[in-house]
Amino acid sequence: MEISLYFEPVDLDRIHFSKNQQENRIGDTIVLLQDSDPEPTATDFDIAIIGINEDRRSVNNEGCALGPDEIRKQLYPLFNNNRLRIADLGNIRHGQEVKDTYFAVKSVIAGMLESDVVPIILGGGQDLTWPVYTAFESLGRIINLVSIDSKFDHGNSDEMIDSESYLSKIILRKPNYLFNFANLGYQSYFVDSKAINMLKSLFFDVHRVGLVRQNLEEAEPVIRNADFLTLDISAIRQSDAPGNANASPNGFYGEEVCQLMRYAGMSNKMSCAGFFEFNPRYDKYGQTAKLLAQMIWYFLEGFGNRCEDFPKENDSKYLKFIVNVHGINEDLIFFKSKLTDRWWMQLPVSEDKATQLRRHIMVPCSHNDYLIAAKNEIPDRWWQAYQKLM
């Protein structure tokens, strides 16, 4: 794939950054796609930063297309302490029609995924979640999607795709490659109770912002189970992130969402992360751009600390716990990594399903899920995952 066909390279003058080979800032160590340079190959880097200047389907937030370069201004001066191999491919060229931009996004992301490069997407509207999903679909990958958002964005399935309706398009897509959807941070006054019941009936995970904030560690398994993370900046309270026309007084604090990003970076399963709906027109003193840059920094820090700790049978690096819960025929099997202290639950499935859904039968969980099972109760996380496999 000729990457340069889709991109406008980063203009360092426009983001007010000057490279210094003696420094260890992200901007100094990053690989830039320049028209005059040989095109880097995917094996040259671990992370690809991709900007998308597209806001034509962003509801009530025109101007978020200007976000990517403003984020770069704040990201480049931060230090690359993990010495990660990062490429910034620039901004995907603005298509004549939105569908043209979607096609370019799908093609580029699919190429990155095929090469085992993790794209970090700087949006743009959150409707761009749709072409990213179709990139996974084009590769035949069954995926888990996690959304950090104050709403579900399920909209009306008969309407055109926009930032408030992309989810319904994904859920109703045939054939469907979505195994699980999880929301972190919804705010009840923005969400119809019917929508909550609908998602729960599909055995999807929805987590109210107040409950997530009470115990942030319980969100880690949700994020660790995801292939793709999509974040709407309006999930963060306006005082911490004013750069969004739909910002609200309530939501996550900046330090909380930075911790969530660290969890995302540490997950070996996380293949793509998108940061959407940042609008510089509302961003007083560049505060939101600075927070987004720090969120990405935490993602990179987590990525630099990734280690392969996915459980394997009969491996001495894991502790195995078998719990018999009254009322079900199957034992509940838990694994704990001796290296990271992270937990998983193994779901009982047929051999056919085990082959087809190999990546989904070992479900990330927390120590608390094991404690619940030890009290002769079925953890909600186990039950929801099991229902999807029946």
- The pLDDT tens digits for 185-217 are 999 999 999 999 999 999 999 999 999 999 999
b/e sequence 5-15, b meaning 16+ C-beta within 10 Å: ebbbbbeeeeb
Q: What is the pLDDT of residues 207-252, one digit of tens each?
A: 999 999 999 999 999 999 999 999 999 999 999 999 999 999 999 9
- Predicted TM-score (pTM) of the model is 0.95
Mean per-residue pLDDT over the chain, rounded: 93
Q: Report pLDDT digits (tens) over 282-313.
A: 999 999 999 999 999 999 999 999 998 888 77
Q: Is pLDDT at 6 greater than 70 in this prediction? A: yes
Helix (H, G, I), strand (E, B) or coil at 219: helix
Fold of 3-304: Arginase; Chain A (3.40.800)
Q: Domain map of the chain by residue range? A: 3-304, 318-389
Find out whether 86 and 28 touch, Cβ atoms under 8 Å: no
Number of other residues whose CB lies within 10 A of the CB of residue 56 = 15
- Rounded distance, CA 188 to CA 214, Å? 16
CB 3 within 8 A of CB 39: yes
DSSP SS3 for 206? strand
